[in-house]
A and B are shown apart, each in its own frame.
Chain A
Amino acid sequence: MSETGFKNSIIPVTTVLLAILLIWSIASVLLNTPWQKDIYKRAGAQNVGTIEFVKATMEQERPVLPSPQQVATEVYNTTVKKKVTSKRSLIYHSKITLSSAMLGFAMGTLLGIVLSVAIVYNRALRKSLMPWIITSQTIPILAIAPMIIVVLNSMGVQGLVPKAFISMYLSFFPIVVGMVKGLNSPDIGHMDLMRTYSASNWQSFWKLRLPSSLPYLFTSMKIAVAISIVGAVVAELPTGAVAGLGARLLAGSYYGQTIQIWSALVMASILAGSLVWIVDMIGRLVTKRMGLNHA
């Protein structure tokens, strides 16, 4: 988008960010207060100044809710200051989560497109497949993830692929829904035109339905790429995985390392956010090349 768009958005974006940081800080002070009072009571400290007290609540070692700067420091220490190969580097763990998420996203997108084409071109499949596709998404992923991994494990599939399956399981759904709508989006006039040319199904798919569906595809892919990160993280939880952002979350919760949990969460959301941004940019580029977004 244009420079003015960027300039216009910088103030509201900063305002919201500051508001979130403020609420977060206040919440962390309030939530950490009981424990801090306990500490002072046990130490017999009296007449602690308000400012000193507030500072202390934001610097606990295992706070109920870590303060923003604690998380920021932890993220900085575990990314910039650690070697990427280190088991304590968030970059190292992100890469592991990212690779299974990307594999799952790719498989999910492919599966979603194939299913949507089948649904659009076959009435029987539309009636029979769609309820199952919707049902698949009503099952809590936390319940089904361990089973998928155990089943695949017993079949000798290990490592990246089982995790990617969970990402695929989540990400194919928005693709199917979006693409079914997209492939059906050409208006009747455009379809009639193909009929007057007596175009084959394949020709009207290739020259009309597919190009019409691309804007829908990119919208769906933005949702799909974000939830494939969620899928990969969730997939790392039940397996007792030793690496990945999910493993960091799990380890953090075992040892009450709330700061570690929160920095893994922040890292996951940065990852997902960047991916959504990348997909959005590719989408804009493609539709622009197609002469579509001229508004």
Chain B
Amino acid sequence: MSETVIRVNELSLTFQTNDGPVHALSNIDLDIQHGDFVSLIGPSGCGKTTLLRVIADLEKATGGDIKVNGVSPEAARQARGYGYVFQAAGLYPWRTIAKNVSLPLEIMGLDRTTRKERIARNLELVNLQGFEKKYPWQLSGGMQQRASIARALAVEPDLLLMDEPFGALDEIVRDHLNEQLLALWGKTNKTVVFVTHSIPEAVYLSTHIVVMSPRPGRIQDIVVSDLPPERTLDIRESPEFLRLANRVREGLRAGHAYDDVES
């Protein structure tokens, strides 16, 4: 039943800089199964975004092995095997919302009817029907981010890679979008890899929480959640939730995430 979507084996990535090598990722081992919701959490510089970018073939690993959908990240990217949601919504300002969702579909060379159908379906999925003809600047930050999620979903990937998609939003909007994302994940049975700074967000959303620590970027702990798949925001008050959050926090502390927190 469960198949491995992402297999990471002793992966490392070292950036050569003028100040010497920077070990962004060191000795990463991680398996992600189909249907998992995996959060990567850790302080700045722990390599969580870098790991996501390696999965997406936006960065190349310098050591170890990684397979995405059973093939190399490059082959997975070329097969359009994933949808990527960036921290900034990154909508093209000269395209309307519908046209923005249409962008990857045009690149894939889909015909007009299919495009229209997918735009409508995915905008509905993120509750943006009626905003097709609006330009990005006419929408709030939260709506823009939802549009960018619709854009990633329109590719119809089994794998969704999300890099702090709600990082720039206020907490109220963020809570709301977390609920929607969870509902979406429940409905579509996709695999999600989700980068975040926020412990409550990670615990609320995930089936697996990967705690990372910096210098060198490495995995400190992998916390498997035993929360039920159906979750409301109230669950954050429950003892199980607090216990999980505590374990994540301990992992971060063990990785010295709280030492001399600069910047």
A contact set with B: CB distance below 8 Å: 187, 189-190, 192-199, 203, 207-208, 211, 290-292, 294
Partner of B92, one of A195, A198, A208, A294: A208
Q: How far is the CA of A195 from the CA of B161 in the complex (A)?
A: 14
A-B contact pairs, 14 of them (CB 8 A): A189-B90, A194-B107, A195-B58, A195-B77, A196-B77, A196-B82, A197-B104, A197-B107, A197-B108, A198-B77, A290-B94, A291-B94, A291-B95, A292-B94
Indicate if the CB atoms of A196 and B92 lie closer than 8 Å: no
| Chain B residues bordering chain A, tally (CB within 8 A) | 27
Residues of chain B from 37 to 94 with CB closer than 8 A to chain A in the complex: 56-58, 77-78, 80, 82-84, 86-88, 90, 92-94
Q: Which residue of B lies closest to A192 (CB)?
A: B58
A194 / chain B contacts, CB cutoff of 8 Å: 107
Indicate if the CB atoms of B92 and A190 lie closer than 8 Å: yes
B86 / chain A contacts, CB cutoff of 8 Å: 189, 192-193
0/1 interface trace, chain B 102-130, chain A, CB 8 Å (1 if under): 01101110000000000000000000000
B88 / chain A contacts, CB cutoff of 8 Å: 189
A291 / chain B contacts, CB cutoff of 8 Å: 93-96, 135, 137
Known: A190-B90, A192-B86, A196-B84. A294 touches B137 (CB 8 A): yes
Indicate if the CB atoms of B56 and A196 lie closer than 8 Å: yes
Question: Which secondary structure dominates where chain B touches chain A?
Answer: loop
Q: Which residue of A lies closest to B89 (CB)?
A: A189
B87 / chain A contacts, CB cutoff of 8 Å: 189
Residue among A196, A199, A291 with max Cβ neighbours from chain B (10 Å): A196
CB distance from B92 to the nearest CB of A (A): 7
Indicate if the CB atoms of A198 and B94 lie closer than 8 Å: no
Residue among B78, B104, B108 with max Cβ neighbours from chain A (10 Å): B104
B78 / chain A contacts, CB cutoff of 8 Å: 198
Q: Which residue of A lies closest to B77 (CB)?
A: A198
Q: Which residue of A lies closest to B152 (CB)?
A: A196
CB distance from B229 to the nearest CB of A (A): 28
A189 / chain B contacts, CB cutoff of 8 Å: 86-88, 90
Indicate if the CB atoms of A199 and B107 lie closer than 8 Å: yes
List 7 A-B pairs, minimum CB-CB distance, nearest first. A291-B135, A290-B94, A189-B90, A196-B84, A197-B107, A199-B107, A198-B78
B57 / chain A contacts, CB cutoff of 8 Å: 195
A196 / chain B contacts, CB cutoff of 8 Å: 56, 58, 77, 82-84
Q: How far is the CA of A59 from the CA of B96 in the complex (A)?
A: 62
Q: Which residue of B lies closest to A200 (CB)?
A: B107
CB distance from B89 to the nearest CB of A (A): 9
Q: Which residue of A lies closest to B109 (CB)?
A: A203
| New contact pairs (14) apart from A290-B94, A294-B138, CB-CB < 8 Å | A189-B86, A190-B90, A190-B92, A192-B84, A193-B86, A196-B82, A197-B107, A198-B80, A199-B107, A207-B106, A211-B94, A291-B96, A292-B94, A294-B135
